[in-house]
Chain A
Amino acid sequence: LAKTTQPISMDSYEGQEVNITCSHNNIATNDYITWYQQFPSQGPRFIIQGYKTKVTNEVASLFIPADRKSSTLSLPRVSLSDTAVYYCLVGAGRRALTFGSGTRLQVQP
């Protein structure tokens, strides 16, 4: 099971770009990288998923280098409502939904 390492917390200001990096040195060949967002007392919400290179959707981008041993979630121009915990998950099939400790992002005005 690929273990993930993320910063415990990050601080930012409204309008800035935030990059959260996740390390997963023992990622397996068929593992995908998925990021979730969780607000207090709510269930996590899917943000983005990728296998390699770059993936972009309407809320975020995911950068994955060629060796796939890390990944970076990029949130463009954050707002106060982006204050949440962000989880990086690595896995496939039945192992795909194992959550780590997450990164607590605090966005200041």
Chain B
Amino acid sequence: DSGVTQTPKHLITATGQRVTLRCSPRSGDLSVYWYQQSLDQGLQFLIQYYNGEERAKGNILERFSAQQFPDLHSELNLSSLELGDSALYFCASSVVVGGQAVTEAFFGQGTRLTVV
């Protein structure tokens, strides 16, 4: 158990719909990362938050948005869903001190999104 909790574990929805994925980081971790992994693909970095502020943006579509709340949990919102958005969505958390290296990031078990 990594200490990172993602809900729900599975989600099936129709095209055009909107869903919200939730992530609770490890206790004390201020940084949250979101990744998308399509079938047999690598992990695509979407976005990073640090203590409530957006810190880095990757290949995140305009239909997707995220936020980190004062209690440090994060939500990834996916709207106008398309078949191609079907994927595993992972959240990770870490301790990041200034510009130093991330010593270790802890990943949740992911949310498997299926768009039909």
**A interface residues, Cβ below 8 angstroms from B:** 30-32, 34, 38, 41-46, 49, 51, 87, 91-102
11 A-B pairs in the complex with CB atoms less than 8 angstroms apart: A43-B92, A44-B90, A45-B107, A51-B101, A87-B42, A96-B105, A97-B33, A97-B94, A97-B102, A98-B45, A100-B42
Contact between chains at B104 and A46 (CB < 8 Å): yes
B68 within 8 A of A: no
Contact between chains at B92 and A93 (CB < 8 Å): no
Q: For B25, what are the chain A residues with a Cβ–Cβ distance below 8 Å?
A: none
Docked complex Cα distance between A95 and B42 (Å) = 17
B28 within 8 A of A: no
Interface size class of B (residues with CB under 8 A): 20 to 34
Q: Is the interface of A mostly helix, strand, loop or mixed?
A: loop
Contact between chains at A93 and B101 (CB < 8 Å): yes
Q: For B109, what are the chain A residues with a Cβ–Cβ distance below 8 Å?
A: 42-43
- Nearest CB in chain B: distance from A73 CB, A: 15
- Closest A residue to B108 by CB, please name it: A43
Q: A38-B43, A100-B42, A102-B42 are in contact. List 18 more A-B contacts (CB 8 A).
A: A42-B109, A43-B92, A43-B107, A44-B107, A45-B107, A46-B105, A49-B101, A92-B100, A93-B96, A94-B55, A94-B56, A95-B56, A96-B105, A97-B45, A97-B92, A97-B105, A99-B42, A99-B45
